[in-house]
Chain A
Amino acid sequence: MVHLKRITAIILVCVLLAAGAVFGADAASIVSPAANSIVYTDSLLVSVKVTELKTIRVSVYEEKTGTAETMASVDVSKFTEEDLKAAADTKYSEVLLGEAALYTNTADIGFYTKQIAVTPGLYKVKAETLETVMEWSEEEQKLVEKTLVSQTVSSLVAVKTKPAEEEKTQVFQDTATGAVTFIRKILKGLFK
């Protein structure tokens, strides 16, 4: 009988998760930072959009290299977008910044937003959609509530040092050649 109850509970959980996977696929999406993006800032905007009446848990990790004693920030100064895509498969140590935050959406669309102070390095923003299910507890011999993660989305972002103004790509080109400007000046002086 106990064996039967356990199997029933496991089947129930699997069905719920499967249903969640099918119908809750778009529950949460990370608007900011955009996945595999490079930013130059010291305060990162985290914005997660939730489109179902669900609770999400948002965590921000800094990806670090090295051992437990010698952990260091990832050097992203030369990172490109391809490097970021490759970094998704690289194993880093994840250090949680602050505490994970819970947000419950009560409307058709809701947003979790927060500003996080950051230093140059590699960061991962993770949003987990939480489901509350009933599971059989062997110890208490009854069904108890358990929180499971039904969906996870994450976004890797490389935070680089802000380049000096002179190093940035020019947005505007000079609109006039030297000769044209010279002639304009002469004409303007004549008719002043």
Chain B
Amino acid sequence: MDENRKRLEKFKTGIIVVLFFSTILLLYLSWHRESGRSFRIADILDFMSEDARVPRAEEFLVPEGVYAGFGDGTFCALDADASALAGRMLAAFAAESQDAVITISEVTEDQYREMLMEFASVRVTYPYGIPAGELLERQGAPVLTGIDQVGQASGVILTSAALDSLFLEGGGSCWRLESDSDSDFAAPLLAGIEPQQPALYTAGSMLGGSNMALLPLSAPEGLAENDWIGEHAGDAERAREALAEAIFGANFDFVRRITDSFGNVTYMYGYGERTLNCLADGSFEYRTETAGGNDPGFFASLEAASAFVARSGGWGEDGSNVRYVLGEATQTGAARTKVYAFDFLELVDGVRICSEDGGAIQVRVQGGEVCYYRRSAVKGEAAYQKPQQAAEIANVLAGNCHLIHSMDSGSVLAESSDEEFAYVADHFRQAQIGYVRGADSLQPAWIITMEGGMRFFFDLYDAAPLGFTRE
């Protein structure tokens, strides 16, 4: 009897095991039929994966310069956290505008020159325009009547000529946002600023003319040439697959994959609605058709770009020597067809890297959706040597005025060198030191930005032309 009982219990255990596995099997079949495709562990365990860090828009909006003026025609670049200072300037105005009435008026050219040349000032400049209304609202300012007339702001100024006002400049104009209260909110931010070397002077003072863009006097520099390698050198295939998987998601296993004789790989979904080109040189280019949509605004579009890149290639690991800043931002079209184009520059050890092809990461956003993404980042380090005198920036511009004039104005004909130089002196906007990405090395260079956004690169020490960006 006991033997029979034991056998029965064993049999029951076997039945339980069989029924358990058949339940699993039936559940799998049901689920498989409903999902329509094989499941991927990654999809199920997605909640466990570490989300990539998505930088806020403000992290990319790093000013190209913070300049202090001392009321005597001299200026200097402030060795301060530019983003933080710009934030404080805007926040001070935002706080002021909560209770005060703000009047917006345009500043004349003479007033502009006087307020910067004759009075103490702090000026923050960006290499692109930011919608003024959004810029202020982002800091908590209320919607200001008439802010639309200001348009795109590429500079924020405080000056002791008007301590009750914030000035926004862009597109060749400057606007005064004046508070009617008695508090001089700009005063604390202007106090205590001391001159630093090297001194800067306006292009008008140094070269002749009336251009208020700032130029440094030559100083010894130590930036040296160094090698670079592709971001995913040695790991290109895995990086390519990871990027394609991130972009196409669940559809990755069902996209068309084309490899050509040069080693370029193209992933294509559908009949080209979405394509990802992975070039042999390590760069990637993704395009998709978007249906368009309501314009979410500059900051929302920038954050959409940030989130997309965070998922598809990332913004660099924490603790690495690489970071990205917004180098250029343009807008084309209107309403549902408006496209924001963002160009991100790569910095290694704090030194910006420029290239004739534009920024290392380029993103276009329409209706809040990314429609274009190009990535061509590098791994490298900034190198330094014994300081030697850099080429005088005035002579870099003078010696290369024919090249700059021809390419920037689109006209190779000019009456004289004087005419070419006068054009360059009038349209020059910014001179910075950084690296230019050559075929296999990073070359120290003067990076000259002209008013229209075109950039020219010249060797830092001998002013030899190294290239220029194409529009």
Q: B-contacting residues of A (Cβ < 8 Å)? A: 31-32, 39-43, 45, 47, 49, 51, 107-111, 113-115, 162, 165, 168, 170-172, 175-176, 181, 184-185, 188
Measured in the bound complex, the distance between the Cα atoms of B398 and A43 in whole Å is 24
Pairwise interchain contact B392-A113, C-beta atoms closer than 8 A: yes
Q: Are A107 and B114 in contact (CB under 8 A)?
A: no
Q: List 9 tightest A-B contacts by C-beta distance, closest first.
A: A41-B72, A111-B394, A108-B417, A109-B398, A107-B399, A171-B161, A184-B101, A181-B180, A171-B114
Given contacts A32-B205, A47-B206, A165-B119, are A110 and B398 in contact (CB under 8 A)? yes
Name the contact of A175 in the complex, choosing from B178, B199, B418 (C-beta under 8 A). B178
Could you give 27 example pairs across A and B, Cβ below 8 Å? Answer: A31-B207, A32-B205, A39-B73, A40-B71, A41-B72, A45-B73, A45-B199, A45-B201, A47-B206, A49-B208, A51-B418, A107-B399, A108-B398, A108-B417, A111-B207, A111-B398, A113-B206, A113-B217, A115-B217, A171-B118, A171-B161, A172-B161, A172-B176, A172-B178, A175-B105, A176-B101, A181-B101
Q: In the complex, which residues of chain A have a beta carbon less than 8 angstroms from the beta carbon of B398?
A: 107-111
List residues of chain A with CB within 8 A of the CB of B421. 109
CB-defined contacts of B162 to chain A, threshold 8 Å:
171-172
Closest residue of chain A to B400 (Cβ to Cβ) is A107
Q: What is the minimal beta-carbon distance from B423 to any residue of chain A, in angstroms?
A: 12
CB-defined interface of B395-414 with A at 8 Å, one 1/0 digit per residue? 10011010000000000000
Contact assessment for B118 and A176 in the assembled complex, using a CB-CB cutoff below 8 Å:
no
Q: Could you list 6 further interchain pairs (A-B, Cβ under 8 angstroms) beyond the known A42-B72, A49-B207, A115-B199?
A: A47-B206, A47-B394, A107-B399, A108-B417, A109-B421, A113-B394
Interface size class of B (residues with CB under 8 A): 35 or more
Given A47-B207, A111-B398, A172-B176; A165-B120 close (CB under 8 Å)? yes
Cβ distance B240 to chain A, nearest Cβ, rounded Å: 47
The A contact surface, by secondary structure, is: mixed
The contact of B115 among A45, A108, A162, A171, by CB within 8 Å, is A171
User: How distant is the Cα of A111 from the Cα of B207 in the complex, in angstroms?
Assistant: 8
Question: Taking CB as reference atom, which chain A residue is nearest B218?
Answer: A113
A32 to B73 alpha-carbon distance, docked (Å): 11
Question: Which residue on A lies nearest to B99, using beta carbons?
Answer: A188
A31–B210 alpha-carbon span in the complex (Å):
12
In the complex, are the beta carbons of B161 and A31 less than 8 A apart? Answer: no
A172, B165: Cα distance in complex, Å = 10
- Residues B208 and A31 in contact, CB atoms below 8 Å apart: yes
Q: Does residue B111 face the partner (Cβ distance < 8 Å to A)?
A: yes
* A40-B71, A42-B72, A108-B417 known; A185-B180 Cβ under 8 A: yes
A170, B217: Cα distance in complex, Å: 31
Q: Which residue of A lies closest to B104 (CB)?
A: A175
B83 to chain A, nearest CB (A): 28
Bound CA span A113–B399, Å: 15
Closest A residue to B401 using CB positions: A109
- Give Cα A75 to B205, complex, Å: 25
Q: How far is the CA of A108 from the CA of B419 in the complex (A)?
A: 12
A39 to B118, CA, bound (A): 10
Give chain A residues whose Cβ lies under 8 Å from the Cβ of B183.
Answer: none
User: Are B401 and A176 closer than 8 Å at their CB atoms?
Assistant: no
